[in-house]
Amino acid sequence: MKSRQGWAELYSLDIDRAADAPVFRQIYAQLRSAILSGALRPATKLPSTRELAAQLGVSRSAVVAAFEQLLAEGYASGKTGAGTYVASDLPEPFAALRDRKKPPAPAVAIASTFRDFGDFVDVTAQNDDRPFNLGRTLVDARTAELWRKLSARTLRSFARSHLGYGDPRGMPELRKSVCDYLRAARGVRCEPEQIVITSGTQQAVDIMTRIMPRPESEVWIEDPGYALTRLALVAAGAKICPIPVDQHGINVAEGVRRAPKARAAFITSSHQFPKGVALTMARRLELLGWAREQGAWIVEDDYASEFRYGGRPLASLQGLDEAGRVIYVGTLNKALFPGLRLGYAVVPHSLVRAFVTARYLADRQPATLCQAVVAAFMEEGHFASHIRRMREAYRNQRDALVTALRSRLGDHLTVEPPDQGMHLVAYMRRGLSDVSIERAAQEHGVVVRAMSRLYVEAPAQSALMLGFSGYPQQVMAPAVARLARAFRR
């Protein structure tokens, strides 16, 4: 390598030929940091490209490219043939600022509603694939194969409709399939125009927080209830009113007593999260009556309703609603797999415009390629058979888990098999703290969630939530054996 000379040496320019970065990038980066540090003062004349190339032993075109980049980004000014200068209008070099006495760093500016979320928003917790994490699903070989086939077909066709902006409500084909499914399976009363494809329940809840009148007004939530709904409402500045849940579901009379003028109620009617009870017909009618009188909205989160194992399925609350007060929210992230990030809302006619506008402003539209795959999966009848097969598998997994828990931990836990959903609740018999078992279980490689953490005001019950949908039958007994060791500690 030719040794550096003169100007290049003065400003410590050095080219590393073994580096991955191209030569012109290295020259550009070194000149730029000399300018930013103040080593090269504003209005200093740079050597000619020919001269600098010779000093560095590189091609002239590399120096020209570096100068062009500096000119384009405003670090340098000049005209071809008339010399290149360090720009004279740059602010005081960072280095000079750095050397001065530092003023105290200003407090990080974030909304007060985002400061106190504690460990609920541990964004990695749901990635944990150890048994018995919540919200995980299985996909069998048949679905995996079909998914590959339909994805390949969609990508191969690469239709024009995928290249531009699409409908913010989602693809018409998918909305139609979802509409047909909900009418048949959940007794939802809807037209395709009312279906909005979302990225899942969370987005539907978020949209509702944006379009509710007076965002700071009162909202009913279930106590205990789903933390991500509560936290989304808190983050939006709503005043949450935790309403106790008993064996009949949310206690509507208590809600009316505590917050009669609430703007909305967020509920999990078919399978209350976390307790698993269904909202009785009497309570459903009471809730709808209150919403109609008050002009309040009911957001019905019908998560995991596809997985019903026994008992008489209750149709959706939305199907009973004559007054257009219910926003029905469903998710494909549970029916298929969470990585999909697709769900839907069935929105009353009077709300469609506002709902779609809020979706458009947050995120424009759902990505189309995955929607096309799901639409084909549904249209060709694979969705219905996937649900049938997984329902069978999850039922067996549930039963294996209940058997293992009763035989290993029957002295400590009371367990009833839930007739719907993807998790079960095991109540502590002897007043043991669910939080301490949650912690001990982690150390034994088992994920259980303490239900007491989902209570806001109601007296907390100590119980463990165990997800069974994500783990094959044969995993249950050995994982319960590890959980039993955590209890022994």
Ligand X SMILES: Cc1ncc(COP(=O)(O)O)c(C=O)c1O
Name the residues that contact ligand X, by CB under 6 A: 135, 200-202, 226, 268, 273, 301, 303, 331, 333-334, 338, 343
Q: Least separation, in Å, of the C-beta of 287 and ligand X?
A: 17
Choice between 35 and 232, CB closer to ligand X? 232
Contact 186, 208 (CB under 8 A): no
Q: How far is the CB of 170 from ligand X (least distance, A)?
A: 14
Q: Least distance from C-beta 331 to ligand X, angstroms?
A: 3
Residue 411 C-beta: closest distance to ligand X, Å: 29
Instruction: Tell me how far apart the alpha carbons of residues 162 and 372 are, in angstroms, rounded to a whole number.
Output: 9
Burial grade of 40 (CB within 10 A; 0-12, 13-18, 19 or more): buried
How many C-beta neighbours within 10 Å does residue 41 have? Answer: 12
CB of 42 to ligand X, least distance (A): 52
Nearer to ligand X, 53 or 390 (CB): 390
Q: Is 256 or 326 the residue whose CB approaches ligand X more closely?
A: 326
Residue 412 or 438: the one with the smaller Cβ distance to ligand X is 438
Nearer to ligand X, 197 or 484 (CB): 197
Q: How many residues does the chain have?
A: 489
**Closer CB to ligand X, residue 78 or residue 135?**
135
Distance CA 166, CA 196 (A): 13
- Return the number of the residue (334 or 408) whose C-beta is nearest ligand X: 334
Handedness of CA 479, 481, 485, 488 (dihedral sign): positive
The whole-angstrom separation of Cα 293 and Cα 311 is 32
Q: Which is nearer to ligand X, 255 or 330 (CB)?
A: 330
Helix (H) or strand (E) holding 467: strand 463-467
In angstroms, the CA 278 to CA 250 distance is 9
DSSP tag of 132:
T
Taking CB positions, which residue lies at the least distance from ligand X?
200
- Residue 178 to residues 186, 193, 346, 471, Cα–Cα distance (Å): 11, 11, 10, 27
Indicate the Cα dihedral angle 311, 316, 317, 322, nearest 10°: -130
Closest CA to 327 of 393, 264, 375, 235: 264
Shortest approach of ligand X to residue 158 CB, angstroms?
28
Cβ distance 409 to 480 under 8 Å?
yes
Q: How far is the CB of 221 from ligand X (least distance, A)?
A: 11
If you search the block for the tokens 């109601």, which residue do you land on? Answer: 458
Nearer to ligand X, 178 or 256 (CB): 178
How far apart are the C-alpha atoms of 393 and 109, rounded to whole Å? Answer: 49
DSSP 8-state secondary structure symbol assigned to residue 106: P
- Give the up-direction half-sphere exposure of residue 258: CA atoms within 13 A in the CB hemisphere: 18
For ligand X, give the closer residue by CB, 405 or 454: 454
In what order do the strands lie in the sheet containing 463-467? 413-415, 423-428, 463-467, 449-450
Q: Which is nearer to ligand X, 135 or 417 (CB)?
A: 135
Residue 346 C-beta: closest distance to ligand X, Å: 15
> Of all helices (H) and strands (E), which one includes residue 413?
strand 413-415
Report the nearest approach of ligand X to the CB of residue 52 (Å): 56
CA distance 268 to 402: 24
**Nearest distance from C-beta of residue 430 to ligand X, angstroms:** 28
**Taking the complex as a whole, how short is the minimal distance between the CB of residue 304 and ligand X, in angstroms?**
7
